[in-house]
Structure 1
């Protein structure tokens, strides 16, 4: 069969197969064009889930009449003119494929007017057949009308779902957009009835009311606001506290330079950051905005622009992981890192207000209080830790957290109300069934799972101690030969320095084999071959690996679990207060090693409701 040039209509329909998956794809392309045109308000009118009608009206810059035919021509665009423009593209759309592709599979109408023009113009396209440009009355801006999507491609139309399903996809994409563009007012109607409105609220990407409107009050109440810059990168937005988690990834939103994207490397970094605090099988929730020089990211790697390629994906992965890890480390029991009250975090490791700051503000104790605190700590943690800690307090009483605070109810209170200096978790008043510690706080009741809390405290101590030594390497008596693929052997050879930092000594023994001569000392009895394969897989896909650290943490977590106080052990009040003070000063103490919460708070108004007080 001879090679023939395809007709333009067929070319556009083939392109539509990539660009136009469903009505939500059409809404995405048209609304992005409106935003690129500088719109401050966009009206989206839909019928039958967008299958019967999609009408997008904006108040943007508009177009001249002679530009309308160019707008529906393939690869005609006002957004790039050279390779330099493509490499640094900052607009949402840029290829010039959307309008001709959409027009080829629908009954299409385009109308527009420049603000300075006396009247507008309109152009109609029927299944790819282009009509004449005609003068039409039109307000400043542009209106695009798409009727009977896929009317001339019945095979594609059969793949569309029910009206409710297609509308749900459109609403989900608009929710993504609403989070990223609080400066734009969005009005949505379906089948002639208003269904959704997001008011324009200025340029603040961290708009609290927009967060409430899109993800709900529960997410907003549990969100931690962050804003961190470094290495030419900026990461800001919200992440949910570990206690607020999901069964699916339905509340995970990632944006790169304002564009909603999916990226496996960043998703992996977020998952790793949460790995030490999230309950098994649960998903974190977040809204993250990553900003970097447009020339450091290629947005032209996916037909629908859902994915991007970073020039230095390893740096991006590490930056996201370390930023979130630093924020999550501050989720201490008793702290309140609410997104809607806390100041913007300018650095990922900046301490949050709450438990950690409280201890540093307290005055030195009297001898009786120190003795009581010492007794509690010796009973709970052993004499050596307690003595060292108290000796340090004596030398510098304002710097230590736990022994420098009162240990009994009411001790240290100074104002008329008697609770001005209460620590975040308050003071213990009782133990319930040998499992829970009950404490009176300033505003209500704190309940602590003593085993879960002590387990996290011990785990963090073990990690700090081991991190202080670093990863020690243990030579093997007999080198272990591991059969691998040629690609894995190449990775091992290329990443020899990285493997050495992970306490692995690995040399290439052949095209498809590696010789392991030393391993991390703490994991000497683990399955060396399986561990090495996992590390190489991570290095190949993400440019780095935390498999060693994760395996180490799993071992230390088991050790901490065995060393934690058990249920049904009776604690004295000084022991209970020692546990509370340690929780307030320990990173990630809001969750145990397995991600379960370690404490809960019940406010006085909430308790009053139990007993119908004030009604």
Structure 2
């Protein structure tokens, strides 16, 4: 490379480089054109695709249109109607703003731009390819704009090598457009492929009317509404119940001011809300829409505008998390009412029973534990006796508790149930800021770990101290366990398994205070295969059904299965 002088690149090369950042595949073309249509105030948008987008993509709308004399300018880089100056970058309310979309499409496609304003009797058309823009010519056209992009990457065959089959590329287009439609229920969308209409969405009054298009009718019917607001932010949307999950996060959709995004930061809020409701490696799905003042968010952080930065990220994170948690708690209460139809015998609970006190103003108006107590009291008052109350029948294989109210059959996983009870007790103490009560060990335990584990464990010692452990360094790779939380005195605590869990989660980057509580609750709970007395089983069920989410353990596994009389009748083919 020596001997080559520094020089300015020509316009065509500059255009190809810029286009490479914005136009990655056919769906990128659709995204830029459809967002332009929405910014133009369109009420109807039609997307026609040929050969998965490799042949042609045409987007037509009934928006405001473009003046004939501005058509060539619209195809120039950094020409836009959405910004007047640098100050506008801090209050962007449109989807597009850089003036790069049409120019980037023209750099990699043969492009035809046709438009007509409502005050004009005739439309205008201009064609472009690369940096070459033809003269404007008058044509008959409806009000609105139509952009046709043909032969994607025709001048860059190497880029075509990285695309998938036409069917796979079209699936990306359909999935993205279906997701976007959730944020714009007032706009009609139509998608065709090779001349065949794939789907058409008429305008809808509410976003939930479009959930079935994206998630399927059955899944949409089970989704939970989400709503919360505070300090100038508003969250709304729908999320899946804990009983529904997927193998990845691809079905989690986030809108910020109606902009469809992939925000790692806000996805973490979603994950945090479901922390103890789903099993490891499983993910919830749904759509969450966040409305915030445009001055609170910076959208000029990614070439494809697929991510944003918040001025107060912690506030947005917490509002989304709390909104989803509230929805899950309401769902847990409903499931509990449906599962446990009658109360346990009303005896006094032992000291330390979990009753969660939610004083957060964003929490549901009625405390869940109090509501469940009211339901039990009402049931006893109605029956006038304990004849139909829930009773423990037996312990099955020293692992499951079988109970019945005389009509329905419940099977409870004793380990999962105890884990949920312990988790909520630990979480409640932590939320109140209570100092944990420790029990010194008569004979402190000395244990060794690897060099890598020793470094990690040393960092975690303050957090372990906060939940009741006293662990001290005792050499280069050795540690001394001097005290455990007081509640563990009656159980054999699996220290090595607990540390393995914590160290593994820290290595995977999934460690949090909640995961620490979950591991602590798990390793201090009754085991599968451990025999329980009848009184112990009854007490465990009382504590379980006083929890905020009694239907799942801290790791997301179900705690209770129920078979109604009708279901049992059907199983026996009666």
Match of 1:587 among 524, 548, 559: 548
- Answer yes or no: is the 8 Å Cα contact 2:296–2:312 preserved in 1: yes
Equivalent-residue separation in structure 1 for 2:307 and 2:216 (angstroms):
27
Q: Deviations over 1:211-267 (max 9, x none)?
A: 122112343243221111112222221222222111111211111111111222222
Match of 2:561 among 587, 595, 600: 600
Of 463-472 and 298-307, deviating more is: 463-472
Aligned position for 2:512: 547
Inter-CA distance 357–556: structure 2 relative to 1 (3 Å threshold): closer
Equivalent-residue separation in structure 2 for 1:441 and 1:208 (angstroms):
39
- Answer yes or no: is the 8 Å Cα contact 2:423–2:517 preserved in 1: no
Aligned position for 1:172: 175
Question: Taking structure 2 as the reference length, what is the TM-score of the superposition?
Answer: 0.77
SS in 1 for 2:376: coil
Aligned position for 2:346: 373
Aligned position for 1:304: 304
Alignment of 1:6-25 (within 5 A): 6-25=9-28
Q: Deviations over 1:343-370 (max 9, x none)?
A: xxxxxxxxxxx589999xx9xxxxxx9x
Aligned position for 1:456: 420
Q: Deviations over 1:500-520 (max 9, x none)?
A: xx9959xxxxxxxxxxxx953
- Answer yes or no: is the 8 Å Cα contact 1:437–1:450 preserved in 2: no
SS in 1 for 2:212: helix
Equivalent-residue separation in structure 1 for 2:371 and 2:284 (angstroms):
33
Match of 2:376 among 377, 381, 405: 405
Match of 1:139 among 129, 142, 147: 142
Inter-CA distance 306–384: structure 2 relative to 1 (3 Å threshold): closer
- Answer yes or no: is the 8 Å Cα contact 1:333–1:590 preserved in 2: no
By how many angstroms is 1:604 displaced?
Answer: 6.3
Equivalent-residue separation in structure 2 for 1:240 and 1:276 (angstroms):
14
- Answer yes or no: is the 8 Å Cα contact 2:257–2:291 preserved in 1: yes
- Answer yes or no: is the 8 Å Cα contact 1:32–1:93 preserved in 2: yes
Alignment of 1:34-49 (within 5 A): 34-49=37-52
Equivalent-residue separation in structure 2 for 1:608 and 1:192 (angstroms):
51
Aligned position for 1:103: 106
In structure 1, stretches of 5+ residues that fail to align are: 337-353, 363-368, 389-397, 475-498, 506-517
SS in 2 for 1:104: helix
Equivalent-residue separation in structure 2 for 1:606 and 1:174 (angstroms):
41
SS in 2 for 1:228: strand
- Is 1:556 the counterpart of 2:515 in the alignment? no
SS in 1 for 2:36: helix
- Answer yes or no: is the 8 Å Cα contact 1:119–1:138 preserved in 2: yes
By how many angstroms is 1:20 displaced?
Answer: 0.4
Aligned position for 2:219: 219
By how many angstroms is 1:580 displaced?
Answer: 5.5
- Is 1:270 the counterpart of 2:270 in the alignment? yes
Aligned-CA RMSD value: 4.1
By how many angstroms is 1:547 displaced?
Answer: 3.5
By how many angstroms is 1:447 displaced?
Answer: 4.4
- Is 1:113 the counterpart of 2:76 in the alignment? no
- Answer yes or no: is the 8 Å Cα contact 2:422–2:521 preserved in 1: no
By how many angstroms is 1:473 displaced?
Answer: 11
Equivalent-residue separation in structure 2 for 1:437 and 1:221 (angstroms):
31
- Answer yes or no: is the 8 Å Cα contact 1:463–1:556 preserved in 2: no
Equivalent-residue separation in structure 2 for 1:606 and 1:599 (angstroms):
16
By how many angstroms is 1:89 displaced?
Answer: 0.5
Inter-CA distance 575–158: structure 2 relative to 1 (3 Å threshold): closer
Equivalent-residue separation in structure 2 for 1:470 and 1:300 (angstroms):
44
Inter-CA distance 75–197: structure 2 relative to 1 (3 Å threshold): same
Aligned position for 1:470: 434
Equivalent-residue separation in structure 2 for 1:67 and 1:465 (angstroms):
65
- Answer yes or no: is the 8 Å Cα contact 1:278–1:595 preserved in 2: yes
Match of 1:160 among 157, 160, 163: 163
Equivalent-residue separation in structure 1 for 2:24 and 2:375 (angstroms):
63
Aligned position for 2:396: 433
By how many angstroms is 1:286 displaced?
Answer: 2.9
Aligned position for 2:468: 522
Aligned position for 2:321: 321
Equivalent-residue separation in structure 1 for 2:145 and 2:390 (angstroms):
64
Aligned position for 2:245: 245
Equivalent-residue separation in structure 2 for 1:400 and 1:265 (angstroms):
34
Inter-CA distance 221–109: structure 2 relative to 1 (3 Å threshold): same
SS in 2 for 1:226: strand
Equivalent-residue separation in structure 2 for 1:121 and 1:153 (angstroms):
29
SS in 2 for 1:525: strand
SS in 2 for 1:124: strand
Q: Deviations over 1:534-562 (max 9, x none)?
A: 99x99xxx9xx973454244223322x13
Equivalent-residue separation in structure 1 for 2:381 and 2:414 (angstroms):
24
Question: Taking structure 1 as the reference length, what is the TM-score of the superposition?
Answer: 0.72
SS in 1 for 2:16: helix
- Answer yes or no: is the 8 Å Cα contact 2:518–2:555 preserved in 1: no
- Answer yes or no: is the 8 Å Cα contact 2:93–2:294 preserved in 1: yes
Aligned position for 2:64: 61
Equivalent-residue separation in structure 2 for 1:35 and 1:403 (angstroms):
50
By how many angstroms is 1:458 displaced?
Answer: 3.8
By how many angstroms is 1:290 displaced?
Answer: 1.5
Aligned position for 1:294: 294
- Answer yes or no: is the 8 Å Cα contact 2:95–2:259 preserved in 1: yes
Inter-CA distance 97–521: structure 2 relative to 1 (3 Å threshold): closer
Aligned position for 1:342: none
- Answer yes or no: is the 8 Å Cα contact 2:419–2:521 preserved in 1: no
Equivalent-residue separation in structure 1 for 2:382 and 2:414 (angstroms):
25
Inter-CA distance 110–399: structure 2 relative to 1 (3 Å threshold): closer
